[in-house]
Amino acid sequence: RGYVAEATGANIFFVKDGEVHTPKADCFLNGITRQTVIGMLKDKGITVHERRIKPEEMEEFEQCWLTGTAAEVTPVGEIGPYKFEVGALTREIAEDYEKLVRS
């Protein structure tokens, strides 16, 4: 199809201008961790766009993380030539998710 979909065994999220972008779950497993994180983001009032993402768009994103049963919420520093910061939102969601599953 030519769009970003997921990583091996994990779903992917990107951040741009304080809003989260994640591929639309129309060709991969809509993981429970993914659904939980989307709910957490929406509860915080953060806009989540579930949409088709072209690979070349990755250069526009500031942050990136993966979600999955094993990955939980794992920051991504780079994908090929694209580099991402481990920003405040990535850290906050990782910490909040860890608190949720450890409580």
Per residue of the chain (103 residues), what is the pLDDT tens digit? 788 877 878 999 999 999 999 999 888 888 899 999 999 999 999 999 999 999 999 999 999 999 999 889 999 999 999 999 999 999 999 999 999 999 8
State the CB neighbour count (10 A cutoff) for residue 15.
22
Tell me if 35 is assigned to some domain. Answer: yes
Number of compact structural domains in the chain: 1
Q: Strands of 1-103 (E only): list them.
A: 11-16, 19-23, 48-51, 63-68, 72-75, 78-79, 82-83
CATH of the domain at 48: 3.20.10.10
Q: Is residue 47 part of a domain?
A: yes
Let me know if residue 19 belongs to a domain: yes
**Residue 6 domain-assigned?**
no
Assigned domain for 26 exists: yes
Task: Please report whether residue 32 resides in a domain.
Answer: yes
Residue 25's domain comprises: 11-102
